[in-house]
Structure 1
């Protein structure tokens, strides 16, 4: 996979297909392959006639790892995405982020609105405003000696996922403990680009998608039936809805 380096941070990315570009930003403890290649998103979007760019966020996948929480945070990671757009000389793109990637996508859209055409917030609703709970049980679970030692249900799920993805657990713990800057209601209302908020109906992490969509000028909701936070990303309803949104076919 190609990489680029800026200010001491090396970012790994994929760049496939031709046509209108879309940038994909993965969720916490995932990477560009787990989040986007394995569930079929890259192939789907390339076959739809798009140029697909997906990055490994810092601390994840094949990108640089840091062990100080100050090196992370969604606004910081959004600047990595912005630098990637500059590196590839892309003036404007569609953007799709999942979970943490949705928060990063929101900061990218807020801080560089002229570079974003349409944006999809997957796996994150009003939790983007209110937060999604205490990060410490997840960080502690990632640092635990063994999975068997983790008793917190959410922490155990993320620890198991980190092991599955063969992630650097200590860099993920630092990322989880970073300044989890919330986006204010006033800020989110400044997003005027077309937005799709796509959340599983069994997702107990994301928060209300409709409540988030109601804050923006041009946003709509896609319910992903029967899916929770961990499995919604590969769902066929999600994929169909995203294609319709990107083609301007969604009311």
Structure 2
């Protein structure tokens, strides 16, 4: 397992160059309670990027997968998470790369882009939408998620989405105490003004049935070069492996999303 240390925290990653010439590099950032293998390899992204001649780099976010587990919420601030992505680029000698973050990973990808805008070619934010801009309040889903991770019996979790995440974490063998600390991290509101200065092309893509995301267009409008895509018929979990999500992403990278086919795949 390749890994590196950023500020003393060990981060596991995969670095998979395709056969032949490398056209570009994509860094993949998985979502909450997932990991690089479940979030990206099993869902077909490793293979799809290899077929395109793209160097695929994917990390396990701290507290997840094979990366170091930490139990202090302060260790999971947005700045630290985004810093892991930039530090990985430094470790691999990557001056510039495309970055794709899904769900919670979209927040990390955005943090990396805002911290090092000159290092990001294209930015893809998946499984999120305009609700990403809403301020967090006490009793919000992240607080309930922490309680769900710490519950002794998952069957006592009444909310279906929270129960699904808990079962998913158990299936992946994730450290639930680390996950509870992860979502307890306190972060300032997103810097919308800085988002409005980000020059990189940004794609926001979410499933039509992803009620927790909100409208992708609403978030895309926060960026000067943003584009929102809704994947018809998909929810939060089914959108990431779907061929239409891959098609939207690759068309975006190829500069084809200005074609008049609309905002829905």
* TM category, shorter: over 0.9
Mapped to 2, the partners of 1:162 and 1:102 lie a distance apart of 19
The 10-residue stretch of structure 1 (57-66 or 217-226) with the greater mean CA deviation from structure 2: 217-226
DSSP-derived class of the 1:234 partner? coil
The 10-residue stretch of structure 1 (133-142 or 181-190) with the greater mean CA deviation from structure 2: 181-190
In the superposition, the TM-score normalised over structure 2's length comes to: 0.91
- Contact 1:74–1:180, Cα closer than 8 Å, also in 2: yes
Match of 2:223 in 1: 216
Match of 1:61 in 2: 65
Displacement of 1:184: 3.2
Match of 2:10 in 1: 10
* 1:116 has 2:120 as partner: yes
Which aligned segments of 4 or more residues in structure 1 are displaced greater than 4 angstroms? none
Runs of 5+ unmatched residues, structure 2: 259-265
Q: Over aligned residues, Cα RMSD in angstroms?
A: 1.3
Mapped to 2, the partners of 1:138 and 1:39 lie a distance apart of 24
Mapped to 1, the partners of 2:143 and 2:205 lie a distance apart of 26
1:30 corresponds, among 14, 34, 38, to 34
- Contact 1:23–1:95, Cα closer than 8 Å, also in 2: yes
Displacement of 1:247: 1.3
* 1:41 has 2:66 as partner: no
Question: What do the CA deviations read for 1:183-223 (whole angstroms, capped 9, x no partner)?
Answer: 13223212221011101000011122111111211111111
1:131-170 equivalences under 5 Å are 131=135, 133-170=140-177
Displacement of 1:75: 1.8
Mapped to 1, the partners of 2:9 and 2:215 lie a distance apart of 34
- Contact 1:188–1:215, Cα closer than 8 Å, also in 2: yes
* 1:175 has 2:221 as partner: no
Mapped to 2, the partners of 1:221 and 1:150 lie a distance apart of 33
* 1:225 has 2:229 as partner: no
In the superposition, the TM-score normalised over structure 1's length comes to: 0.96
Displacement of 1:152: 2.5
The 10-residue stretch of structure 1 (87-96 or 141-150) with the greater mean CA deviation from structure 2: 141-150
